[in-house]
Structure 1
Amino acid sequence: MLDHIGFAVSDLERSKVFYAAALAPLGIALIMEVTAEQTGAGGHAGFGAEGKPFFWIGEGGPAATGVHVAFTAPLRAVVEAFHAAALEAGGRDNGGPGLRPHYHPDYYGAFVLDPDGNNVEAVCHRPA
């Protein structure tokens, strides 16, 4: 199990707005922010649930190869809500909601590219 993951973005404010909207259907919200003065580098925003940030974005520009991160969704309808919210927030479709049986028979996921081109996924592993 991961404790947290983080990556750099080119525009922290734009990305905070995008992730706040895209992750809301998954029950993930902005939990805390740290300033450049606190980190000794750029500012960072931590998203999570139940008071614990586990997904961080920070100033500094996107990674050269991009990042892929997948969030667990409890139901297929939540995968669909994530995809719709992410597109509405300015994300680009990278694979609409649907089964990906090449992973396993119940793998139901959706993919979007964030404003920096990172591949963000929501996935439900439960049967319909």
Structure 2
Amino acid sequence: MIDHMGITATDFELSRRFYDAALEPLGLAGIMEVTPEESGGYHGIGYGKGKPFFWLSNDRRPGERSAVTGTGIHIAFAAESRAAVDAFYAAAMAHGGQDNGAPGLRPHYHPNYYGAFVIDPDGFNVEAVCHAPE
């Protein structure tokens, strides 16, 4: 079982605004932050409910090269309703996301699979999915 995961942003503040907006409809928020002053350069924000499970960071120390982008990585966040999937998609698109599959049923996965896909500012394929019937 995975406890938490993290991705690296090439523009931390741009990606932070994207995830703050896109994850809010799913009930997720930044609940822990590690600042560069605390860590010697690393800047990270942990999103979750109760405890952080998804981390966004610059993942660099002073003098290190820029991060590699997220091509080939897919992250799916659970949504409690189809309306939350729709709101995730709208917020993500309004904050720099690129369409990678508008909200809708994906019956090839299972009859109630309702998801939306966006590409974040670093090229990560981010999804919100609801498995509940309507």
TM-score in same-fold range (> 0.5)? yes
Matching residue's letter, 2:125: N
Identify unmatched segments of 5+ residues in structure 2. 60-66
Distance 2:105 2:29 in 1: 26
Distance 1:62 1:84 in 2: 27
Are the equivalent residues in 2 in contact too, given 1:7–1:63 (CA < 8 A)? no
The alignment status of 1:126 with 2:132, answered yes or no, reads: yes
Matching residue's letter, 2:57: G
Distance 2:97 2:4 in 1: 22
Return the offset for 1:37: 4.9
- TM-score between the two structures when normalised by the length of structure 2: 0.87
Larger Rg: 2
Alignment partner, residue 103 of structure 2:
97
The alignment status of 1:87 with 2:98, answered yes or no, reads: no
RMSD: 1.6
Report how many residues are paired.
127
Matching residue's letter, 2:87: A
Are the equivalent residues in 2 in contact too, given 1:7–1:62 (CA < 8 A)? no
Identify unmatched segments of 5+ residues in structure 1. none
| Cα-to-partner distance string for 1:82-111 (whole Å, 9 max, x where unaligned) | 000111111111100001111111100000
- TM-score between the two structures when normalised by the length of structure 1: 0.90
Aligned identity (percent) is: 60
Distance 1:64 1:53 in 2: 20
